[in-house]
Chain A
């Protein structure tokens, strides 16, 4: 049963890892490189907002999640 769950996890994380790798390394930069797109002010603004938002969400997730897990564990 445990091995079954691990197999299921392995399949799920393989899909995510390969999918994200494809998007981050091939799809997005590939399109941007081939089109030779030059950032407009609007696009540049969006780009920095993305960097900022990603930072905040990632920071909140990393800070809060371990505490949530401790709380859940205690409740169990």
Chain B
């Protein structure tokens, strides 16, 4: 076990390093930071950086901890279902990303597109879904980081939850999306390096034969060495369905498409998705499955990865794991923070409060929003922890709350026949019915509604499936019945960058003066 000082040092070192790096880059930059640059990184990011950033945004604390937990519990099917079940959303997102580029080339958020494609009530509902996704993901990321810091260093969990957001809030506030991209790249490279070290040590220290024999000797060996594991499959199904919401309704993924060059938008998701697959697949195989095969005495499966890391390399292993986890927390946290800021600035502030705000004013508001939300997220994580809601629970339940918007959103972007009412009521009814089925099935299966009964695999699965079926049937069914058609071409010129809007405003003012 490391000392709590190590935990504080890691927070301090990485927080100061990334803030310093952002300040240096900002000073060396030849262009002045504008609101447009802050929220879109100049729409000039290439495939490589965008892929790294997508990987960083999708590598949560849960990716490292939960995936290893599935490997420890379900054997070899766990890592596969975690990796494949959460990778396809990124791959499929490539399709919607390129369509957003085509249909709304100058948009800042996907909600801006929704606002023009549908009406106000739909815009507000989708914004509710989007903000809920960002808030839950950020809280979960901080929660995961704080729990890991607490269990590995003994650092106070509440202090950790309040300090973690500070580390990524400050550099995001200074550098905006561009700073987030650079930090994402460094974090992703670091994660790959540390994972490679762990995998190599497993081979050198134990070899695959020892692990295989250990797995065969386990009482539950029937499920540990086969893909035909029913709990593994159930987890896989929840993982697939639940994760659609956290990618498709999360502005941070749309933002990466918006920030990318036209030629990079779709390819970055395909390459990023394939590369991301290797992270949970490798960590869960080399730390989770190996821990089970070696028969380590682990009472909480969620802690299998850090404990296995300590088993491999002692306190060096613990520090490496902590650094890797902290990298994942930082980059996802920064991505979510820029996403929340973009939504609030573009879809609330610029749309309803101050549509004529100058670039300077918009930039100032963006920075205030980033700082406020970063700090508020720490407090929310503490509250969640106090209620007794853990990482695994939030991870699997999240789909029920946010996936209602996935089908309406996707058909709204891809299909000219998607209707306003169909998508609105589909998303709303999907979420309400999903929560209802989840609560009812937890009650019927366990005889009570508690955090524990709601966390059961079957109750989660029924809730997740209901959300998709109901929202899909209503939104697609209504579109087929009503036979309306939308002209995407007509909306193409309705999106303008903040800089263009400011120029137009200046011209209009000059004309008035003349």
Closest 6 CB pairs of A and B: A65-B48, A59-B192, A32-B227, A66-B48, A58-B275, A13-B266
A2 closest partner in B (C-beta): B262
Say yes or no: B212 contacts A41, CB within 8 Å. Answer: yes
Chain B contact residues: over half helix, strand or loop, or mixed? helix
Say yes or no: B196 contacts A55, CB within 8 Å. Answer: yes
Once bound together, how far apart are the Cα atoms of A31 and B378, in whole Å? 45
Scan residues 17-51 of chain A and give those whose CB is less than 8 A from a CB of chain B.
Answer: 17-18, 20-21, 24-25, 29, 32-39, 41, 44-45, 47-48, 51
Once bound together, how far apart are the Cα atoms of A65 and B274, in whole Å? 15
Q: How far is the CB of B67 from chain A (nearest CB, A)?
A: 12
Once bound together, how far apart are the Cα atoms of A66 and B271, in whole Å? 13
Which of A6, A20, A48 has its CB near the most chain B CB atoms (within 10 A)? A48
Say yes or no: A54 contacts B281, CB within 8 Å. Answer: yes
Once bound together, how far apart are the Cα atoms of A14 and B270, in whole Å? 10
Say yes or no: A9 contacts B266, CB within 8 Å. Answer: yes
Say yes or no: A20 contacts B88, CB within 8 Å. Answer: yes
Number of B interface residues in the complex (CB < 8 A): 64
Measuring CB to CB, which residues of chain B are less than 8 angstroms from any residue of chain A? 46-49, 51-52, 55, 76, 79-81, 84-85, 87-88, 91-92, 94-95, 98-99, 101-102, 185, 188-189, 192-193, 195-196, 199, 203, 208-209, 211-212, 215, 222, 225-228, 233, 236, 240, 262-263, 265-267, 269-271, 273-279, 281-282, 285-286
Once bound together, how far apart are the Cα atoms of A64 and B128, in whole Å? 39
Query: Which of B203, B262, B276 meets A5, CB within 8 Å?
Result: B262
Task: Categorize the interface residue count of chain A.
Answer: 35 or more
Q: How far is the CB of A29 from chain B (nearest CB, A)?
A: 6
What are 25 A-B contacts defined by CB distance under 8 Å?
Answer: A2-B262, A9-B98, A10-B99, A12-B266, A13-B267, A14-B94, A29-B84, A34-B228, A37-B226, A37-B228, A38-B225, A39-B226, A44-B225, A48-B285, A52-B203, A55-B195, A59-B189, A59-B195, A59-B196, A59-B278, A62-B48, A65-B47, A69-B46, A69-B48, A69-B49
Given contacts A24-B84, A39-B212, A51-B278, 18 further A-B contacts (CB under 8 A): A6-B102, A9-B98, A10-B98, A16-B94, A17-B95, A21-B88, A21-B92, A25-B85, A38-B225, A41-B208, A48-B208, A51-B281, A54-B277, A55-B281, A58-B278, A65-B48, A66-B52, A68-B48
Whether A25 contacts B275 in the complex (CB less than 8 A), given A13-B95, A66-B52, comes out as no
